[in-house]
């Protein structure tokens, strides 16, 4: 079997991609209007929503960057994983019920629609839509680039595609992504997410079993090796220190309820009461998949220190090196398919919300109505958005990484800082005002931009997104208290009381 390792891996990835294409064709027949395209007609069952929710949370970053981070900075990065229970809990308590109610009551297709209904303000709608578009461009570009780099690594190991270029890999991987997103919209997206979620869970648990067998003494031997080399790396705050770790706890924990690609999924379930099972199922799925993140990172760091493996050229090589040395070819095939699944499940979610922002929300904010023939334009803009993001990805790779890095700054942290106060707090506090929301979003965008542009390094590993998040929360509450309490629409007021 070892002789066919590369063929098995390529075969697994091809089967997975064919499945995505087939799902797109199947979902196309179920997509009749823009409501189907953007929110699946609010008719999804709990298992579908739960798997879609967790698989969108764990992007390619979790499968490639996650193990690399543990290899690099030790336990510090565990904080991004262990906060999942807190993050999902806060998200469901604060957002799941009310976003679903407002979405149904006002027939909302997107998060900015919900925000506009809550605040009765197109300015807030516009700012949220703008934040989403900026964030989507950065996220999508990095995801497409990651997908292409992995595909090139896999294909170049075969005789036929030994010299395949990165551009070809961008084209192939983007084509599959675009096809199923354009044909089937969010329906294709969430149903591929279901399979993607299962693949990720299986990959995570199998990798854990493989990882604990690398050293005779299991995980304890691996952690003891790291402890002997540098105790701080394996202690609770890791190499990056206490404030970097707690910053991630804050931004990733609370911030989960501010991620537009995740909370939009909370609008899609058929029955409100399904939330009671969606929460634990999402969390379970996330934890199973994240086992890969932790176990590969720890074992690879210990293996390099112990001399079992040569030092890695880059921390992000941790997962691929682990798979090539320690994993059975079949497992490697599953994990590589899982990697594509992780990247695509996040990318399709971003394509969907980005398209909604461009053809639905921004026109509504600027001229009071969406574009005509929304479904047609949704498909056109999905293609264009993916092409522009792929262009950014290639430009950043070959010419200048600054642009994507800048847009990449509009990632998780900026979404958390801009959207959490306005949505998660605003949906539960009648005193929140338009001025408070506009100030919070603007401050969050500004701080993240300035920290990124100026390359500001804060002491003790305090991150820009943490400062932005705390500041936007303070401003949101402070400005809302100082400005006149708004008169809410009667239906919204009732929803906020339920």
Partner 1 sequence: MGQLLLMIGLADSVPNAGGQPHPEYPGMVIGADGVARLAHIGSLAFLFNSLLLTLVVGLCILGVSERHRSRKFLAGMGGSWLFMLAVWWMMFSTHQEFLMTGETGYFMGFPVPTAWQMYGTWLGAIPIIVMYSYGFRTFIYTYEDEAEFDALLEQATRNSQQD
Neighbouring C-beta atoms of residue 433, cutoff 10 Å: 22
- Specify the residue, 16 or 293, whose C-beta has the smaller distance to partner 1: 293
Binding string, residues 361-400; x marks residues near partner 1 by CB under 8 A: ----------------------------------------
Q: How far is the CB of 367 from partner 1 (least distance, A)?
A: 21
**b/e string for 15-52 if b means 16 or more Cβ within 10 A?**
ebbebbbebbeebbeebeebbbbbbbbbebebebbbbb
CA atoms 65, 66, 68, 72: torsion sign: positive
Site residues (CB under 8 A) for partner 1, limited to 473-492 = 474, 491
Burial of 276 (0-12, 13-18, 19+ CB in 10 A): exposed
Q: How far is the CB of 222 from partner 1 (least distance, A)?
A: 8
Cα 261 from Cα 345, distance rounded (Å): 10
Q: Is 219 in the site for partner 1 (CB under 8 A)?
A: yes
Binding string, residues 137-176; x marks residues near partner 1 by CB under 8 A: ----------------------------------------
Residue 181 near residue 36 (C-beta atoms within 8 A) = no
Cα 290 from Cα 66, distance rounded (Å): 9
Q: Is 285 in the site for partner 1 (CB under 8 A)?
A: no
- Specify the residue, 297 or 354, whose C-beta has the smaller distance to partner 1: 297
Site residues (CB under 8 A) for partner 1, limited to 43-72 = 71-72
Q: Give how far Cα 491 sits from Cα of 100, 117, 460, Å.
A: 14, 10, 47
Which listed residue (237, 252, 293, 410) binds partner 1 by CB under 8 A?
237
Q: How far is the CB of 419 from partner 1 (least distance, A)?
A: 15
- Specify the residue, 282 or 418, whose C-beta has the smaller distance to partner 1: 282
Binding string, residues 98-117; x marks residues near partner 1 by CB under 8 A: ---x--xx------------
Q: State the number of CA atoms in the 13 A half-sphere of 78 facing the CB.
A: 18
Which listed residue (186, 365, 424, 443) binds partner 1 by CB under 8 A?
424
Q: Is 78 in the site for partner 1 (CB under 8 A)?
A: yes
Q: Is 276 in the site for partner 1 (CB under 8 A)?
A: yes
- Specify the residue, 366 or 457, whose C-beta has the smaller distance to partner 1: 457
- Token couple for 416: 């958390």
- Specify the residue, 101 or 133, whose C-beta has the smaller distance to partner 1: 101
Site residues (CB under 8 A) for partner 1, limited to 185-214 = 212
The structure tokens 């991620």 sit at: 259
- Specify the residue, 67 or 329, whose C-beta has the smaller distance to partner 1: 67
Cα 160 from Cα 165, distance rounded (Å): 13
Which listed residue (83, 103, 137, 444) binds partner 1 by CB under 8 A?
83
Q: Is 472 in the site for partner 1 (CB under 8 A)?
A: no
Which residues lie closer than 8 Å to 457 by C-beta, 6 or more apart? Answer: none
- Token couple for 283: 């969390």
Residue 345 near residue 17 (C-beta atoms within 8 A) = no
- Specify the residue, 11 or 236, whose C-beta has the smaller distance to partner 1: 236
Q: How far is the CB of 12 from partner 1 (least distance, A)?
A: 28
Q: Is 455 in the site for partner 1 (CB under 8 A)?
A: no
Q: Is 426 in the site for partner 1 (CB under 8 A)?
A: no
Which listed residue (19, 161, 249, 395) binds partner 1 by CB under 8 A?
249
């Amino acid at each position: 079997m070892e002789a066919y390792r590369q063929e098995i891996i390529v075969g697994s990835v091809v089967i997975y991609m064919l499945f995505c294409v087939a799902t797109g064709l199947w979902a196309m027949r179920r997509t009749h209007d823009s409501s189907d395209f953007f929110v699946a007609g609010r008719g999804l069952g709990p298992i579908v929503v739960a798997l879609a929710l967790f698989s969108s949370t764990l992007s390619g970053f979790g499968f490639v960057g996650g193990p690399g981070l543990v290899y690099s900075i030790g336990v510090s990065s565990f904080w991004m994983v262990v906060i999942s229970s807190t993050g999902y809990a806060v998200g469901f308590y604060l957002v799941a019920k009310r976003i679903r109610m407002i979405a149904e009551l006002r027939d909302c297709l997107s998060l900015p629609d919900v925000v506009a209904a809550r605040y009765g303000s197109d300015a807030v709608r516009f700012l949220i839509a703008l934040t989403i578009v900026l964030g989507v461009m950065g996220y999508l570009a990095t995801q497409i680039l990651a997908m292409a780099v992995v595909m090139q690594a896999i294909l170049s190991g075969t005789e036929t595609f030994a010299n395949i270029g990165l551009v070809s890999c961008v084209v192939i991987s983007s084509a599959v992504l675009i096809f199923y997103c354009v044909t089937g919209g969010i329906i294709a997206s969430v149903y591929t997410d279901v399979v993607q979620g299962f693949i990720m869970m299986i990959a995570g648990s199998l990798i854990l079993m493989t990882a604990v067998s690398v050293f005779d003494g299991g995980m304890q031997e691996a952690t003891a090796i790291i402890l002997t080399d540098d105790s701080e790396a394996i202690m609770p705050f890791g190499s990056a220190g206490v404030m970097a770790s707690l910053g991630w706890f804050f931004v990733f924990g609370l911030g989960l309820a501010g991620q537009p690609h995740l909370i939009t999924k909370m609008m899609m379930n058929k029955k409100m009461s399904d939330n009671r099972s969606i929460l634990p199922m999402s969390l379970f799925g996330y934890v199973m998949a994240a086992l890969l993140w932790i176990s590969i990172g720890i074992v690879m760091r210990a293996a390099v220190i112990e001399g079992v493996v040569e030092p890695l050229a880059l921390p992000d090589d941790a997962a691929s090196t682990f798979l090539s040395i320690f994993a059975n070819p079949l497992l490697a095939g599953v994990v590589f398919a899982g990697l594509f699944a992780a990247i695509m499940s996040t990318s399709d979610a971003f394509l969907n919300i980005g398209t909604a922002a461009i053809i639905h929300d921004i026109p509504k904010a600027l001229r009071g109505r969406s574009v005509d023939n929304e479904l047609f334009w949704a498909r056109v803009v999905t293609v264009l958005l993916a092409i522009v993001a792929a262009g950014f990805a290639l430009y950043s790779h070959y010419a200048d990484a600054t642009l994507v890095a800048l847009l990449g700054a509009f990632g998780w942290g900026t979404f958390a800082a801009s959207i959490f106060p306005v949505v998660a707090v605003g949906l539960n506090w009648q005193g929140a005002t338009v001025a408070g929301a506009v100030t919070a979003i603007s401050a969050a965008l500004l701080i993240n931009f300035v920290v990124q542009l100026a390359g500001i390094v804060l002491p003790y590993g305090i991150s820009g997104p943490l400062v932005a998040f705390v500041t936007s929360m303070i401003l949101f509450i402070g400005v809302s208290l100082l400005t006149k309490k708004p008169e809410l629409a009667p239906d919204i007021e009732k929803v906020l009381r339920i």
